[in-house]
């Protein structure tokens, strides 16, 4: 790696207002990859200043979700660091200090406008077909008016004085220079009346004091970039380099992928949107990391499957495409299947254990270890194993109906006769290995003049009660002689009673 720079410091700063959205996870991943590529520092910072939407469980969901993804942080909650605390509600005094500093230096002002006045102003602007926004009323109060408001104890917010002429240009590492006309920019609130900062003040102050060198955040924050640049200039601080990551679109390509995207796509399948939904759906973290890296970034060499270490080796912002990226869920299914097939079967068995137990099955670990390599090449998600492999653990086992036992070209008496003879042959085998079973059953097919599917299909139905399953005799071997023969006897009872 030729471009190591240990001074690189980046942060992921989620708001604990609910479960993590997959777009936020992608932002965290890109920041983490960038830090690891340069040998720098990745910081987790919790931006919990929106107290109305704060969710106490969210911080745990964030930290556990990142750990599940393999994204570790060098500084932050549960880790510490010399620039903490890393939870914004514990830094309120710092924000107040610097908001007051801006007021004292005539770079910000106290706004005493009531919610009623702001609502009436907005209604008037809409009625007059003007762009809604604050009219800077309190920016031009006289010192006497300000003193009178303070003497009355009127509540206030602190607003930043944006320049009203000229333009503000922000250099984006992905998009190049972006220029904003200052006449179109608002005097945004920096400090709310409850003493808590808005995002604009808190993230600028924190990024400065935490020595952040690069900011990678979602595209929707582009409109706030000129405010932040002017804030840095007002404080006299150097602004970190900034990059806005491309938005992620719905699988249809119509609209941003959001919490409202949850539901069914055109293909009739549920679209996971929140990180825990991907976990619950049976996706592997390694596959999800590989997949998200591909959404907006290119590894090159026309490769779509690559390890985290390979990604870290070549991760840079030059490979990020600023255009919006479609969220191809079908590709994630394929990629997840690739990772499952390459996994050690013993590890797969460990991952499948909670899938089956959560579904209510009592799992025999020895059978699961034997079943895992049979399921492995046939599933795309861990949850797929439920439908294909539940017959290993279902209790009580319900034998199939006559219609499922009797195969094409057969009738009930012939099926009964074939299964009776198959039972006797299987019971007499010296061992119950798959190859031994198959050899005996193929010999029986020859003797009875049957087609392979007629006997094998009946045996599959009898032992699994499913239309499809992993390879028949390997599955029967895993079930074991006693259980397999017991199930065939149950099927024979069904046929005799027909």
SS (H, E, C) 69-99: HCCCCCEECCCECCCCCCEHHHCHHHHHHHH
Helix (H/G/I), strand (E/B), else coil: 258 = coil
9: β partners: 41
Closest to 71 (Cα-Cα) out of 27, 136, 107: 27
Cis amide leading into 396 (omega within 30): yes
Burial tier of 353 (Cβ tally within 10 Å: 0-12, 13-18, 19+): middle
The strand pairing partners of 248, in sequence order, are 325
Distance, in Å, from the CA atom of 493 to the CA atom of 488, rounded to the nearest integer, reads: 9
The CA angle 349-354-359, to the nearest 5 degrees, is 120
Centroid of chain to Cα 44: 17
Tell me how far the alpha carbon of residue 177 is from its chain's centroid. Answer: 31
Per the annotation, the verdict on 259 as an active-site residue is yes
Separation CA 476–CA 435 (nearest Å): 11
Question: Quick count: other Cβ atoms within 10 Å of Cβ 44?
Answer: 26
Considering only CA atoms, which of 179, 199, 203, 178 is closest in space to residue 189? 199
Please report which residue ranges of 359-464 form alpha helices under DSSP H.
365-375, 384-389, 402-405, 412-427, 434-448, 452-464
Catalytic residue (one of 154, 229, 259, 270): 259
Give bridge partners of residue 459 from the DSSP assignment: none
> In whole angstroms, what is the distance from residue 213 CA to residue 226 CA?
18
Q: Which active-site residues does the annotation give?
A: 259
């Amino acid at each position: 790696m030729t471009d190591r720079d240990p001074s690189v410091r980046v942060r992921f700063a989620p708001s604990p207002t609910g479960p993590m959205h997959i777009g936020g996870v992608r932002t965290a991943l890109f920041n983490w990859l960038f830090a690891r590529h340069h040998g720098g520092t990745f910081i987790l910072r919790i931006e919990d200043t929106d107290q109305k939407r704060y969710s106490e469980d969210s911080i745990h969901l964030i930290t556990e979700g990142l750990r599940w993804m393999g994204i570790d942080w060098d500084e932050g909650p549960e880790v510490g660091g010399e620039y903490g605390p890393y939870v914004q509600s514990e830094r309120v005094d710092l924000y107040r200090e610097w908001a007051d500093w801006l007021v004292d230096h005539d770079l910000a002002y106290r706004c005493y406008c009531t919610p009623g006045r702001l609502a009436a102003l907005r209604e008037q602007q809409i009625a007059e077909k003007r762009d809604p926004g604050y009219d800077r009323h309190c920016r031009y109060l006289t010192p006497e008016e300000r003193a009178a408001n303070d003497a009355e104890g009127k509540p206030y917010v602190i607003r930043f004085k944006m320049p009203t002429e000229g333009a503000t240009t922000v250099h984006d590492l992905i998009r190049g220079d972006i220029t904003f006309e200052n006449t179109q920019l608002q005097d945004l609130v920096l400090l709310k009346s409850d003493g808590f900062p808005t995002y604009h003040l808190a993230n600028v102050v924190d990024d400065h004091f935490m020595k952040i060198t690069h900011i990678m955040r979602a595209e929707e924050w582009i409109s706030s970039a000129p405010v932040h640049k002017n804030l840095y200039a007002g404080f006299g601080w150097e602004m970190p380099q900034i990059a806005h990551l491309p938005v992620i679109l719905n699988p249809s390509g119509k609209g941003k992928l959001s919490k409202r995207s949850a539901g069914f796509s055109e293909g009739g399948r549920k679209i996971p949107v929140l990180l825990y939904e991907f976990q619950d759906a049976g996706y592997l973290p390694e596959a999800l990391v590989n997949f998200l890296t591909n959404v907006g970034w290119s590894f090159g060499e026309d490769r779509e499957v690559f390890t985290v270490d390979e990604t870290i080796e070549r991760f840079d912002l030059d490979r990020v495409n600023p255009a919006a990226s479609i969220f191809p869920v079908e590709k994630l299914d394929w990629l997840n299947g690739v990772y499952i097939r390459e996994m050690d079967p013993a590890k797969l068995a460990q991952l499948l254990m909670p899938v089956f137990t959560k579904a209510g099955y009592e799992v025999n670990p020895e059978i699961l270890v034997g079943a895992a390599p049979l399921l492995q090449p046939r599933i795309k998600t861990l949850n797929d194993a439920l439908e294909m492999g539940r017959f290993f653990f279902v209790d009580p086992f319900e034998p199939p109906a006559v219609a499922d036992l009797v195969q094409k070209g057969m009738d009930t008496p012939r099926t009964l006769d074939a299964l009776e003879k198959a039972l006797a042959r299987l019971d007499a085998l010296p061992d119950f290995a798959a190859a031994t079973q198959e050899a005996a059953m193929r010999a029986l097919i020859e003797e009875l003049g049957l087609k392979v599917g007629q006997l094998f299909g009946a045996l599959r139905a009898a032992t699994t009660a499913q239309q499809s399953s992993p390879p028949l005799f390997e599955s029967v071997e895993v079930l074991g002689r006693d259980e397999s023969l017991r199930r065939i006897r149950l099927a024979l009872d069904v046929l005799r009673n027909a």
